[in-house]
Structure 1
Amino acid sequence: MTLSSAISERKLLHRLKEGDQEAFSSLYTTHHDALYLYAYRLAGDEDQAADFVQEAFMYIWEKKALLHIETSLIAYLFRAVRHRFLNLKAHDKVRADFAANFQRHLDQSAYAVDRIIEEKELFEQLQAELAKLPQKMAQIFRLRQQNIPDREIAEQLGISEKTVKNLMSQTLKKLAHTFKRFVLFLFA
Structure 2
Amino acid sequence: MTISNAISERELLHRLREGDHDAFSSLYATHHDALYLYAYRLVDDEDLAADFVQEAFVYIWEKKALLHIETSLIAYLFRTVRHKFLNLKAHYKVRTDFADHFQHYLDEGAYVVDRNIEEKELFAQLQTELAKLPQKMSQVFNLRQQNIPDSAIAEQLGISEKTVKNLMSQTLKKLGHTFKRFVFFLFAY
> TM-score interval w.r.t. the shorter chain?
over 0.9
Q: Tell me by how many angstroms 1:150 deviates.
A: 1.2
Query: Which contiguous aligned blocks of 4+ residues in structure 1 show a shift greater than 4 angstroms?
Result: none
Which sits farther off after the overlay, 128-137 or 89-98?
128-137
Cα deviation for residue 184 of structure 1 reads: 2.2
C-alpha separation between the residues in 2 aligned to 1:97 and 1:9? 43
TM-score, normalization by structure 2: 0.96
Deviation sequence 1:18-71 (CA, Å, 0-9, x none): 110100000000100110011011011111101100000000000000001001
Cα RMSD (Å) of the superposition?
A: 0.9
Cα deviation, residue 161, structure 1 = 1.4
Please give the residue correspondences for 1:15-94 in structure 2 after superposition, counting only pairs within 5 Å.
15-94=15-94
* Structure 1 partner of 2:145: 145
Aligned partner of residue 147 in structure 2, secondary structure: coil
Q: Which ranges of structure 1 fall in alignment gaps of 5 or more residues?
A: none
Q: Which position in structure 1 is the counterpart of 2:160?
A: 160
Residue aligned with 1:178, SS: coil
Secondary structure of the corresponding residue to residue 76 of structure 2: helix
Instruction: Indicate the residue corresponding to 1:5 in structure 2.
Output: 5
Partner of 1:113: 113
Distance 2:41 2:5 in 1: 27
Relative to the length of structure 1, the TM-score reads: 0.97
Q: What is the aligned-residue identity percentage?
A: 83
AA at the equivalent of 1:93: K
Deviation at 1:162, TM superposition (A): 1.8
Alpha-carbon distance in structure 1 between the residues aligned to 2:39 and 2:29: 16
Residue in 1 that maps onto 2:178: 178
Matched with 1:187 is 187
